Structure 1
């Protein structure tokens, strides 16, 4: 059975007997403090809990973004099957010369393991959703499970970055459903990393741990902005050429 430190950020409460006094000094009991000191300790403990990534918050991240990723992967899988049945089928996610799913589905990069990439998402995202439901139900899983989940999201992020490069620099077309998957994978990776760091499942210093946990939302925005800038700047030359010669 995993220990508390494997799941709970330093200074946060898991609801099983933590005292306000520990926010000031772990060697003190509540009886050693005045009323004012107890109130200050409780406020300090509440502040730490508010800044941490709790199980319920992380659970909702897994459920919501897992469902988003699953829906997009399922839509892509259906479009791939329809394309195989009818080569003339126009995908519902193909809107113009630059927003077109067909190019990505027809490329070798779209079937890296010998079958369509969306099938990976159809199989993997339900695991993410189930993990979130388990957290929301109040169950506690061992640290090795969360490290494994983090490893899976790292692999997913690596695949996403490879597909972003392929779409922007080789195909010069963007797949709308694929971009929804990208949108879902980034926070799944990031919050899995934050949860592992907060729970001391990864060997980082307390200073790094505190910075990552406190600024997790800001750092997520930075990740989104970095990928968005990559896509916009990478697609800009192709769009400019199309406008110039059209």
Structure 2
């Protein structure tokens, strides 16, 4: 009897949820960029204070790191994640090289947002926290962590059954690792004098 392939429902659902949230944030930033191009003196809808705003990030060179607005990367990239999420739920079989390319893309996104985080917090021309950017960060980090673990458990990184079993157990620790990553970003912002917690509190209440 042929052994039934495991179904990674939780991972597939997360990819879909993350892609929808990430795409919406990128779309909102794209709209804000269009508005800024039409009226450079206008304030974006996500402008809450000098520290908590999108305007400075959109107008900076870091906001167009590859020669075009960064949100365009998100609008296109998150659609790929959505397709993968649906494929995982449908239990579609992909070759190792395909999963490897997907992992490479997710890793690139993670490295890019890590760079953007440090630029937002420490760059002399910024020192701001972009609300929609932070939404993107918040879903990219766990997506990267979950994808790396998934590639270990589905045989992309190693064909060893022992490695795959250990990786499967490791998936339960992804939420905790995500919280730790969030805490590190918050600590970086707080130590840099941006008071992320206070700014978000004042924006909400």
Q: Could you state the TM-score of these two structures normalised by the residue count of structure 1?
A: 0.71
Q: Hey, what does 2:33 align to over in structure 1?
A: 80
Q: Max radius of gyration: which structure?
A: 1
Match of 1:101 among 51, 54, 71: 54
Question: Which residue in the other structure is 1:6 paired with?
Answer: none
1:28-67 correspondence runs (5 A): 54-67=7-20
User: 1:61 Cα shift?
Assistant: 1.3
Q: For structure 1, which segment, 101-110 or 201-210, has the greater mean C-alpha deviation from structure 2 after superposition? A: 201-210
Structure 1 position 238 matched with structure 2 position 200? no
Q: 1:178 to 1:120 in 2, by over 3 A?
A: same
Q: Aligned to 1:152, which of 100, 105, 127?
A: 105
Which whole-Å deviations, capped at 9, do the CAs of 1:159-179 have from their partners, x for residues lacking one?
Answer: 010001011112221001001
Over 3 Å counting, the alpha-carbon distance change for 1:184 and 1:226 in structure 2 is closer
1:190 aligns with one of 145, 150, 170: 145
Compute the displacement of 1:140 (Å): 2.0
The C-alpha deviation readout for 1:175-219, integer Å capped at 9, x for no partner, is: 010011011111221221111100121138766544432132324
What is the CA-CA distance between 1:121 and the residue it aligns to? 0.6
Asked if 1 retains the 8 angstrom alpha-carbon contact of 2:121 and 2:189, the reply is yes
Instruction: Note closer, same or farther for the CA distance 1:150–1:167 as it changes in structure 2 (3 Å cut).
Output: same
SS of residue paired to 1:180: helix
Q: Is the 8 A contact 1:76 1:118 kept in 2?
A: yes
Name the residue aligned to 2:89: 136
**What RMSD over aligned residues (CA atoms) do the two structures have, in Å?**
2.4
Write the distance in 1 (CA, Å) between the matches of 2:97 and 2:148: 13
Cα deviation for residue 230 of structure 1 reads 3.1
Instruction: Work out whether residues 168 and 231 of structure 1, in 8 Å CA contact, stay in contact via their aligned partners in 2.
Output: no
Contact 1:186 1:224 in 2 (8 A): no
2:202 counterpart residue number: none
Q: What's the offset of the Cα at 1:95?
A: 0.7
Instruction: Summarize the Cα distance change of 1:155–1:237 in structure 2 as closer, same or farther, 3 Å threshold.
Output: closer
Are residues 1:18 and 2:3 paired?
A: yes
Corresponding residue number in structure 2 for 1:174: 129
Query: How far off its partner does 1:237 sit?
Result: 4.2
